[in-house]
């Protein structure tokens, strides 16, 4: 099967569109921005749709000519909430909120994603068939599509945005390959003509997992386009946080050069960086001492994106979570973005420093895959 090539690379703002910065977007040179606000925070009154800073940034992005990939994060599991039954008051409340948000941002949406990591953000019982043979997550997704999303965009008029199912993380894991809801939604994507394609997340510990996830997805969704709104080496980074600086000769030389405690574990060095900032040179030098670190990893991803028919991928512009009191179990998302406003010292002109691990490759890929190039 010949798939479409990887076409574009944009910037991802996860669940925090309020941090969109148009000056740095211009520096990145992207055409796409992606965000998935936490819709339950709006439904439960923690956030207000009117004059919301995040939604206002989405609208401004569209008005400035950026293409917008938008969707909702339905994080039922973290709220301890079961998926509402069809026709219930809670379903109506949620669908009314989704419609009210679409009325604000919808005129500027070019791609719509029906969920965000539903296999992690849904209670286990809602991903299994009930006594009537229904899978609540699948039923909710279908009703969201036909009660909210398509009615709004058909009313908005052509062109309709591409509509994607997902995003499914970690499809290389057996537990998700055996998950009833995941497989049913993959089949739904493949069979439903109203669904443009599939959305995957690829946070990995080993680059072999990229192919494993794609091969499983393509065993069911044969030929529709795929988007990858999130991808990183986050699992790899976390698995190495307890490794000491002095694990090898290069690490010992690094510690001497930058006057760091050679017995520090990586999480201690990262905690120092997140608290005080380090130079881009020290940041890059640290990773050069790690035998497990794959140089130019963005290029590795894009090689696989071309093979498996990815039409859009997005990657973080800014750091969003930078723990200062790092432990061996801390998240390490702060390593990924192309600009590091917390971990790296500012540039000479006071601007946010570029991440030397990925910035140059990111810019090259954006320009390489820009339509018309």
Number of domains within the chain = 2
d(CA 165, CA 145): 10
Would 3 be classed as within a structural domain? no
Q: What are 169's strand-pairing partners?
A: 201
221 and 81 in a common domain? yes
pLDDT digits (tens, 9 = 90+) for 311-333: 999 999 999 999 999 999 999 99
- Tokens of residue 44, six digits: 């439960």
- DSSP element (H, E) containing 291: none
373 and 336 in a common domain? yes
Would 1 be classed as within a structural domain? no
Predicted confidence at residue 4, as pLDDT, reads 47
Taking residues 114-143, report their average pLDDT: 97
d(CA 253, CA 35): 41
226 and 201 in a common domain? yes
Taking residues 175-184, report their average pLDDT: 98
**C-beta separation of 310 from 11 below 8 A:** no
Classify residue 173 by burial, with Cβ atoms within 10 Å: 0-12, 13-18, 19+: middle
- Residue 219 makes CB contacts below 8 A (sequence gap 6+) with none
226 and 86 in a common domain? yes
Q: Residue 130 sits in which domain range? A: 8-236+296-317
User: What ranges make up the beta strands (E) of 116-214?
Assistant: 162-169, 197-203
Taking residues 164-191, report their average pLDDT: 97
User: What ranges make up the beta strands (E) of the chain?
Assistant: 8-12, 32-35, 67-71, 109-113, 162-169, 197-203, 226-232, 310-316
Average pLDDT, the chain: 96
pLDDT digits (tens, 9 = 90+) for 250-288: 999 999 999 999 999 999 999 999 999 999 999 999 999
- Tokens of residue 228, six digits: 């990858």
Taking residues 150-165, report their average pLDDT: 95
Predicted confidence at residue 177, as pLDDT, reads 98
**C-beta separation of 70 from 112 below 8 A:** yes
d(CA 270, CA 294): 19
Would 138 be classed as within a structural domain? yes
111 and 76 in a common domain? yes
Predicted confidence at residue 3, as pLDDT, reads 45
- DSSP, residue by residue, 316-359: ESS-----SS--TT---GGGS-SB-TTTBPPPTTSSPPB-TTTH
Predicted confidence at residue 357, as pLDDT, reads 98
pLDDT digits (tens, 9 = 90+) for 193-232: 999 999 999 999 999 999 999 999 999 999 999 999 999 9
- Residue 195 makes CB contacts below 8 A (sequence gap 6+) with 145, 163, 164, 165, 188, 189, 224
Would 193 be classed as within a structural domain? yes
**CATH number of the domain enclosing 132:** 3.20.20.80
- DSSP, residue by residue, 74-91: --TGGGT-PPPPTT-HHH
Taking residues 34-56, report their average pLDDT: 96
Predicted confidence at residue 47, as pLDDT, reads 96
- DSSP element (H, E) containing 256: helix 249-258
d(CA 64, CA 359): 23
d(CA 160, CA 195): 11
Would 361 be classed as within a structural domain? yes
- Tokens of residue 349, six digits: 């002109």
State yes or no: pLDDT of 103 exceeds 80: yes
Would 330 be classed as within a structural domain? yes
- Residue 303 makes CB contacts below 8 A (sequence gap 6+) with none
**C-beta separation of 161 from 109 below 8 A:** yes
Confidence bin at 370 (pLDDT 50/70/90): confident
The count of C-alpha atoms lying within 13 angstroms of the C-alpha of 160, restricted to the half-sphere facing its C-beta, is 15
345 and 197 in a common domain? no
Taking residues 343-360, report their average pLDDT: 98
d(CA 260, CA 246): 10
Predicted confidence at residue 2, as pLDDT, reads 39
221 and 177 in a common domain? yes
351 and 267 in a common domain? yes
State yes or no: pLDDT of 166 exceeds 70: yes
245 and 262 in a common domain? yes
105 and 37 in a common domain? yes
82 and 130 in a common domain? yes
- Tokens of residue 338, six digits: 């192309």
- Residue 218 makes CB contacts below 8 A (sequence gap 6+) with 1, 308, 309
Would 140 be classed as within a structural domain? yes
- CA angle 368–370–373, rounded 5-degree value: 65
3-state secondary structure of 64: coil
pLDDT digits (tens, 9 = 90+) for 291-302: 999 999 999 999
Residue bearing tokens 């910037």: 11
Would 31 be classed as within a structural domain? yes
Predicted confidence at residue 371, as pLDDT, reads 83
Rounded to the nearest 5°, which phi and psi values hold at 23? -65, -45
248 and 125 in a common domain? no
């Amino acid at each position: 099967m010949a798939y479409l090539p990887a076409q574009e690379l944009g910037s991802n703002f996860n669940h925090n569109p309020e941090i969109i910065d148009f000056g740095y977007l211009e520096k990145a040179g992207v055409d796409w921005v992606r965000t998935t606000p936490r819709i339950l925070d709006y439904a439960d009154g923690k956030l207000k749709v009117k004059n919301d800073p995040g939604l206002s940034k989405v609208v401004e992005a569209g008005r400035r000519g950026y293409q917008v990939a938008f969707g909702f994060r339905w994080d039922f599991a973290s709220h301890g909430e079961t998926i509402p039954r069809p026709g219930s008051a809670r379903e109506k409340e949620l669908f009314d909120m989704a419609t009210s948000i679409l009325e604000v941002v919808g005129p500027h949406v070019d791609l719509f994603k029906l969920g965000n990591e539903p296999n992690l953000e849904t209670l286990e019982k809602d991903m299994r068939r009930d006594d009537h043979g229904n899978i609540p997550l699948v039923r909710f997704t279908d009703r969201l599509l036909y009660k909210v999303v398509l009615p709004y965009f058909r009313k908005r008029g052509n062109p309709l945005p591409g509509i994607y199912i997902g995003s499914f993380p970690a499809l290389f894991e057996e537990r998700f390959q055996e998950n009833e809801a995941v497989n049913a939604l993959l089949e739904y994507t493949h069979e439903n003509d109203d669904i443009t394609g599939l959305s995957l997340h690829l946070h990995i510990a080993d680059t072999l997992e990229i192919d494993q996830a794609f091969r499983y997805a393509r065993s069911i969704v044969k030929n529709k386009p795929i988007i990858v709104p999130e991808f990183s080496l986050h699992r790899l980074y976390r698995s190495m946080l307890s490794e000491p600086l002095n694990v090898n000769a290069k690490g010992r030389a690094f510690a001497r050069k930058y006057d760091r405690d050679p017995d520090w574990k990586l999480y201690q060095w990262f905690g120092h960086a997140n608290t005080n900032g380090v130079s881009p040179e020290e940041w890059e030098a640290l990773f050069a001492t790690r035998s497990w670190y794959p140089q130019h990893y963005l290029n590795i991803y894009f090689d696989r994106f071309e093979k498996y028919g990815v039409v859009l991928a997005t990657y973080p512009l800014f750091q969003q979570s930078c723990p200062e009191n790092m432990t061996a179990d801390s998240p390490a998302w702060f390593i990924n973005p192309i600009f590091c406003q917390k971990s790296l010292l500012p540039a000479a002109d006071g601007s946010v420093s570029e991440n030397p691990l990925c910035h140059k490759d990111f810019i090259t890929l954006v320009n390489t895959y820009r339509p018309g190039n």
